[in-house]
Structure 1
Amino acid sequence: MENVWTITYWEIALRLFAAGFLGGLIGWEREKDNHPAGFRTHILVSLGSALIMLISIYGFSDFVNEKNVRMDPARIAAQVVSGIGFLGAGTILRHGVSVKGLTTAASLWVVAGIGLAAGAGFMFAAVLATIFVLVSLELLNRLENILIKKRHVHVLYMILSDEPGKLGELTLLIEKMGGSIRRVNFEESESDSNQVALTFHIRLTEKTSIAELCEEISKIQGIKSVRTE
């Protein structure tokens, strides 16, 4: 009877290669869009998860026949699920009132699962999960851009007086003109400590031009300058 607790070197190599390759596919999608965790990070997470799963299943095979020894292949591997959260948290960045990196953190979590599946020899699930992840990251992203093609993202740079309520006033004006704020960055002005530099990433409909928006913003008291890319 074949011992289920043993594995050949070729099988180990195949599973590690599959884990690295599948993780790399997802990492490449993140890398080309300059996300916090890219190609190498996803490969390492997937490889590490596969290795931990291999150790969990086969690393203690010499002790299987020992008295009072019970094998639990999921015991060590289970720590990957909770441990990957620390790495994922490092990819989540807060920019003003918006948060970036949640999708990359989720992709790292999924890649860890793919690595565990590859390490356990569950190749069909690992490959299928990779396909689903790539579809949701790449194809659905393109579909979203097609569905909202009438809305264009613009970047506004402005210098304004450091006064309470200015951000709220700007937000109300942008929303009133049909804009949707995607991200806001704050910086202190290098030339004047009483001024701040704001960068708005705004999605506008075709009904409103960026020139009209800039003109209305410039009318707000305390706005020193406003320009766009």
Structure 2
Amino acid sequence: MTGMDWPEILLRLGTATFAGSAIGLNRDLHGKPIGLKTLGIVGLSTATVVLLAVQFGEHGNVTDAASRVIQGILTGIGFLGAGVIVHESDRFRVRGLTSAACTFLAACLGIACGAGQWKIVLVALAFTFVLVALAFTFVLLTIGRRVERWLHRSLGGKEDPHHAEAVPKTGSQDGV
């Protein structure tokens, strides 16, 4: 068994907990059934098990035993995700897929943290937050105009005369 110093253990477990919690915060803010605490625990627990498996092998290498641990984790996480989906099912509608996918991502990030693969963790988190930003941008571009018009009407603002959809002002037709 190889030794690992306390700062490295704290870094790996702390980063896994933070990564899972960050994903969970997004789920919490959207009122989903799985949130900050749950995904933080998923990240921490998966990193803990992987760290333990890595400790029994060569430091930093994924051994056959560590590989089996990772496979077991991902199978168990699949059941957690299925529980979220089934719990949310209503009249044959599939719901909860995003929460299940977030659970899987939190587990994968926990595995990567447990194995000390920091570049993978950083890139995966960066892509996660880029996808959220892209989604917000898409929504803003899709419904932004309607929201803007509604706010103008509700708050008594002036319509933009440069847009064809703006309501023309009433007045004389001769341009005087």
TM over 0.5: yes
> Any idea what SS the aligned residue of 2:94 has?
strand
Q: Determine the structure 2 residue equivalent to 1:51.
A: 48
Q: Determine the structure 1 residue equivalent to 2:139.
A: 145
Q: Verify: 1:105 aligned to 2:100, yes or no.
A: yes
Q: Verify: 1:22 aligned to 2:23, yes or no.
A: no
Q: CA deviation at 1:150?
A: 7.5
- Larger RCO (CA within 8 A; separation ≥ 6): 2
Are 1:56 and 1:75, in contact at CA under 8 Å, matched by a contact in 2?
no
Q: Determine the structure 2 residue equivalent to 1:209.
A: none
> Any idea what SS the aligned residue of 1:99 has?
coil
Where does the alignment leave 5 or more consecutive residues of structure 1 unmatched? 65-69, 153-229
Number of paired residues? 140
| Pairs within 5 Å for 1:65-214 | 72-92=65-85, 93-136=88-131, 138-149=132-143
Q: What is the one-letter code of the residue matched to 1:72?
A: A
Q: Identity of paired residues, percent?
A: 34
Instruction: Provide the C-alpha distance between the structure 2 equivalents of 1:102 and 1:147, rounded to a whole number of angstroms.
Output: 25
Q: CA deviation at 1:84?
A: 0.2
> Any idea what SS the aligned residue of 1:95 has?
coil
Q: Determine the structure 1 residue equivalent to 2:34.
A: 37
Instruction: Provide the C-alpha distance between the structure 2 equivalents of 1:80 and 1:127, rounded to a whole number of angstroms.
Output: 21
Instruction: Provide the C-alpha distance between the structure 2 equivalents of 1:150 and 1:134, rounded to a whole number of angstroms.
Output: 21
Structure with a larger share of its residues in helix: 2
Instruction: Provide the C-alpha distance between the structure 2 equivalents of 1:23 and 1:94, rounded to a whole number of angstroms.
Output: 24
Give me the CA root mean square deviation. Answer: 2.3
- TM-score when normalising by structure 2: 0.71
Where does the alignment leave 5 or more consecutive residues of structure 2 unmatched? 147-176
Q: CA deviation at 1:115?
A: 0.4
Structure with a larger share of its residues in strand: 1
Q: What is the one-letter code of the residue matched to 2:125?
A: T
Instruction: Provide the C-alpha distance between the structure 2 equivalents of 1:89 and 1:151, rounded to a whole number of angstroms.
Output: 38
